[in-house]
A and B are shown apart, each in its own frame.
Chain A
């Protein structure tokens, strides 16, 4: 697993950190479950002007088209559910890019201002 980060820390309220960590863990669990033991994983965290982006990419087998929607339709709490719900709670979005044989990329995008508001509410 390779991690790419900025030199400076990315400030996030601790409650957000818990959710982001859980979402990334869910993405990694998914790799462990569906991809082979030789699969490599890269994690990139970036702080934008008003967003934080975390990208988890693997070079595993990818996901067949419709596979995620099918799992969701069958009511299975898979990767999609767990990651989407956690990110939505923070006002963020998730983009999954996966083609068979091309690996899977999961991008979590979180708004920073919303996170700050949340932080102030907690402090109050």
Chain B
């Protein structure tokens, strides 16, 4: 599913009923508002493209999303790095459920954020292309899992569900 976000809340778009759990979700953002993009990604979008993306980039992104790969731009890598930092700063000292990046994941995200392609990163770190993709994908998966846990917790705390059903 593609969501054109002209000011609409991209979270609402990604949560559409017709999208099953395995539907690749991409967000095509006009504004590129950073918090919106981050929220969409945490809600399950596998990547985003700015509207200024070329047709080649769009086709490539569609192909990669369909294949289950996250489509990461440098901007998204910067947002994800920032989100892990924010979660770490906010966490209680004894909290164990705060998602964290491994050193390798941090390294890979920083390289994506400074414009290196997966192929260049693989070469630079002597990893396979697939391993680089997995590292990037993991950084998203951990955020999305955490996001779901937080939503459930919020719902329970606010009496939106019966604890026995959760």
Contacts and interface: CB of A to CB of B under 8 A. Distances in A.
Interface of A: 2-8, 40, 42, 44-49, 55, 57, 59, 105
Nearest to A44: B113
User: Contact residue range for chain B?
Assistant: 20 to 34
A6 B78 contact: yes
26 contacts: A2-B73, A2-B115, A4-B77, A4-B78, A4-B113, A6-B78, A6-B79, A6-B83, A7-B34, A7-B35, A8-B82, A40-B115, A42-B74, A42-B113, A44-B77, A44-B81, A44-B114, A46-B81, A46-B82, A46-B110, A48-B85, A49-B89, A55-B110, A57-B114, A57-B115, A59-B115
B88 interface: yes
Nearest to B115: A42
Contacts, number: 66
Contacts of A3: 75, 78
Interface of B: 34-35, 38, 73-75, 77-79, 81-83, 85-86, 88-89, 110, 113-115
Contacts of A8: 82, 86
